[in-house]
Amino acid sequence: MTKKKTKERTITGIVVPDDWDENGNVIRVAIKAPDYVEYVVERNRKGKELLTFVDEKVKATGTVRERLDGDMIITVKSYEPFKENDEDRG
């Protein structure tokens, strides 16, 4: 089996909890896209910042890769809260 290539993408979706600590605090998030694909957010600096956006819609740009188990992972380089009028621009 070979690992698929990474590529930079911009995805839009809802930030959802993906992992919790023993006290029930969210420690990792994913971005659920409109097509129901979940992109697990890598725990880099920008990824940790997204912990404050749980249940909010964001537009995130970063490197996306697919792990051998099929999970999609995004290493976020930049993000912004999604504004509904952004949809008009594509």
Total domains, the chain: 1
- For residue 88, being part of any structural domain is answered with no
Tokens 């979706």 appear where? 13
pLDDT for the residue numbered 74? 97
- For residue 62, being part of any structural domain is answered with yes
For residue range 33-88, what is the model confidence (pLDDT) as tens digits? 999 999 999 999 999 999 999 999 999 999 999 988 889 999 999 999 987 765 54
Strands 7-20 and 38-41 turn out to be unpaired
Burial track 62-85 (b if 16+ CB lie within 10 A, e otherwise): bebbeeeeeebbbbbeebeebeee
Q: Can you read off the two tokens belonging to residue 54? A: 């749980």
* Domain coverage including residue 61: 7-80
- For residue 37, being part of any structural domain is answered with yes
Question: Would you say 11 and 33 are in contact if contact means Cβ atoms under 8 Å apart?
Answer: yes
- For residue 24, being part of any structural domain is answered with yes
- For residue 12, being part of any structural domain is answered with yes
- For residue 87, being part of any structural domain is answered with no
- The predicted model scores a pTM of 0.84
Tokens 């997204």 appear where? 50
Give the confidence band of 23 by pLDDT, cuts at 50, 70, 90.
Answer: very high
pLDDT for the residue numbered 51? 96
- For residue 86, being part of any structural domain is answered with no
Q: Can you read off the two tokens belonging to residue 50? A: 């997204």
Question: Would you say 86 and 59 are in contact if contact means Cβ atoms under 8 Å apart?
Answer: yes
CATH number, domain of 53, equals 2.40.50.140
- For residue 90, being part of any structural domain is answered with no
